[in-house]
Structure 1
């Protein structure tokens, strides 16, 4: 029996378009016959290497205004709750991503990740403070305080740094990013279907 192809989904909790991708990738991947590996990481260090101190949507106001309207349109088209812009934007996602890195091999990673995105972009809640992350974990039936404490361990902090360096070494420069088994990189929520098609073996005519 052939092994099911895998698509890596690299996402950042402060990323608007990661929010959209996170809430639709499971259904789309199932239809495509592709397994998804969720890869939380921090995009801030990658931005810093490009000389950016904040989101490009803040650095370039016209681009930012268009993004927020596009974000609202896309969320509505996917049937997601209305968008609420976090204040400040982008939010500090360090505590949340540490938890996600800690939970990478746990069955609660996906529901936790989706709950973080919903808290930030649908409910307008903070995801920055430890108490906010604990509350999300508690809502999933976990011991949020214990999980957050474990996520703050030196070993887990090292895992997070390694994940950022892996992203950098594999050519990732933003979120969401999708990587196929053969290393093909697709950037952006609007490239998710192309990434899934490539992962499943489909190729555009004349392209290998």
Structure 2
């Protein structure tokens, strides 16, 4: 049994562990391309992660961004090229024109919120699994059966798809307000407990370097 001094030392060490707030969107191709690399970085440094799903299109409107459908063709052409390049770079199958995009991403977001609250599974894997359904598997994440499948495959009770919907909707809305307040303007967006902000799946290496004390 650890001594009092050892317990205090352990508590002190735990208190120093970093934390990351992860603002994500179930329909974002860039959240999909992030894979589970954030979770690997967090595990490397013993960091905890809080997942904060939100409506990224609403976020664009609140922070000066433009949804893809409203962007100039030249921007969308570049986006298409870049998505395919990045998917090859990270080794993920990617469908540039998925059958079920856009769709209603809110129910899947509610499931992520419920799963994080319930525990017992892998939230990071759940986020990635849901995004993979959109961008690689031609599945509609607004479909209850798809959401239940994602929950089950990542270690959660599939019935979470039907539980806490009101609480999920409230948290989902609150996440958007928090994002606007904290300077988030896109997804994926990572904020450390020292308010260092990293936007994009291509900044996970920078987050890693920051947690290592090198950036």
Alignment TM-score, normalising by the size of structure 1: 0.82
Residues 1:200 and 2:212 are matched in the alignment: yes
Secondary structure, counterpart of 1:103 in structure 2:
helix
Q: Determine if the alignment matches structure 1 residue 60 to structure 2 residue 98.
A: no
What 5-or-longer segments of structure 2 have no aligned partner?
Answer: 1-8
The 1:199/1:82 distance shift into structure 2, 3 A limit, reads: same
**Which residue, 89, 92, 102 being the options, matches 2:104?**
92
Choose between structure 1 and 2: higher helix proportion: 2
Alignment partners' CA distance in 1, 2:201 and 2:127: 16
Q: CA offsets, 1:65-103, max 9 Å, x none? A: 222221122111212224353235333211100111111
Which of the numbers 105, 130, 140 marks the counterpart of 1:126? 140
- CA RMSD, 1 decimal: 2.5
Distance 2:46 2:87 in 1: 23
Equivalents in 2 of 1:58, 1:87: separation in Å?
Answer: 20
Partner of 2:123: 109
Query: Aligned equivalents of 2:194 and 2:187: distance in 1?
Result: 19
Report the counterpart of residue 206 of structure 1 in structure 2.
Answer: none
Which runs of 5 or more structure 1 residues have no equivalent in the other structure? 204-208
Select the residue among 163, 183, 197 that pairs with 2:195.
183
Quick check: 1:81 aligned with 2:81?
no
Matches within 5 A, 1:3-82: 3-31=16-44, 33=45, 35-37=47-49, 38-50=51-63, 55-56=67-68, 58-82=70-94
Q: Highest CA radius of gyration, 1 or 2?
A: 2
Aligned residues: 199
Change (3 A) 1:50 1:7: closer
Residue matched to 2:186? 174
